[in-house]
A and B are shown apart, each in its own frame.
Chain A
Amino acid sequence: MIHGLLDRPPWLVLGALLGLVVLAAFALLNERVGVVGGFADVVERVTGRRAALGWKAWFVFGVVGGGLAFRLLAGEATVRHGYGWLTRELAGPAVALVLVGAGVAIGYGAKKAGGCTSGNGLGGCASGSAASLTATGTFMATAIAVSFAIEALT
């Protein structure tokens, strides 16, 4: 176990490292990182819509592996108190239902917008794509507004 992994590094350090991952994807593959595209690759593969997985699916498998590696090295998970406000306010089955619904919104919305927090927010904004900047501004503003509404109601 490595002590200190359960404390967040300075934001400047972590931000720079995440930026380097975005750059490394260009330096190695000339591609923009994106997670929802990897999920979509898997969905298309599973439903017989594509013959082989694209690189983003492998990227997502790596993200899963990175989470596992972190947990093994840190000794515990970084989600320690249930699952946020949902498990504090709702009973188990309701949490699962709400999460499925939220997932549908995330999957559908991100595909329609051409990317999620990583694809549009990191990769797209770094590329200077006006579409990505618009999408990122929109989902951040929406998420802030909805979070304040949830806070007011709970």
Chain B
Amino acid sequence: MTRVRVASVLLGAGFGFLLSWGQFIDPDRIRDMLLLRDGYMWLMFATAVAVAFTGLRLMRRGRVRSLLTGQPVTWTTARPERRHVVGAAIFGVGWAVSDVCPGPVAAQIGQGIAWSLPLLAGIGLGVLIHLREQEAPAERTTGRRAERHAPGTALPASNPD
């Protein structure tokens, strides 16, 4: 359990450092990206997806087992549903207005950027609203929670997103 936590923190630290270095956490950079003035972000994003996409398939072909869980590297895919489009559109509005998404807001907190706090509060509230909606009786039958295994042995499963 401790090993899973340490590995998670280290992975996050690498992620936060890289987001900072690429200035992905600067709202003006995201704005330039979204106004299609700056190709850097798009090219970097495409490279990251391409590297991960290729590497994943190589790992699967090589029957690589994950170090801490011992399971063969696998992943699940999902078919698009209405919620993917509706949710993503709502997310896109929030992203364009703030020019910050969840990874960068966490890195901003680390960098001591005070404006990240109201945004973080809003994200927490939005997550809570979604949670309440999921818990509403009418929604319960369509609940889709805990579809994945827990990593390691003792840590409970994280949220799927």
CB within 8 Å of B: which residues of A? Answer: 5, 8-9, 11-12, 14-44, 47, 49-71, 74, 77-87, 95-123, 125-136, 138-148, 150-151
Contact = CB atoms under 8 A, between A and B. Distances in A.
Nearest to A83: B115
A120 to B, nearest CB: 7
A33 B44 CA distance: 17
22 contacts: A17-B18, A20-B51, A22-B55, A23-B51, A36-B102, A36-B127, A39-B124, A41-B158, A55-B155, A59-B11, A66-B18, A100-B119, A103-B119, A103-B125, A105-B97, A106-B119, A108-B90, A112-B86, A112-B90, A114-B83, A114-B160, A115-B160
B15 A106 contact: no
Contact of B106 (A25, A35, A144): A35
B48 A18 contact: yes
Contacts, number: 518
Nearest to A104: B126
The 9 A-B residue pairs with the shortest CB-CB distance in the complex, in nearest-first order: A103-B122, A62-B12, A66-B16, A107-B126, A67-B110, A15-B47, A19-B51, A84-B27, A142-B92
A144 to B, nearest CB: 5
Contacts of A109: 87-94, 126
Interface in B26-68: 26-28, 30-31, 34-36, 39-41, 43-53, 55-56, 59, 64, 66-68
Question: Chain A interface secondary structure, helix, strand, loop or mixed?
Answer: helix
Contact of B96 (A53, A57, A101, A147): A147
Contacts of B87: 108-114, 135
A8 to B, nearest CB: 6
Nearest to B8: A58
Contact of A85 (B27, B47, B121, B161): B27
B80 interface: yes
A86 B11 CA distance: 31
A146 B14 CA distance: 31
A83 B128 CA distance: 25
Interface in B84-125: 84-99, 101-103, 106-113, 115, 118-125
A16 B119 CA distance: 29
Contacts of A49: 131
Contacts of A110: 87, 91, 102, 126, 161
A6 B149 CA distance: 40
A66 B129 contact: no
Contact of B158 (A5, A54, A102): A54
Nearest to B124: A43
A91 to B, nearest CB: 13
A36 B53 CA distance: 21
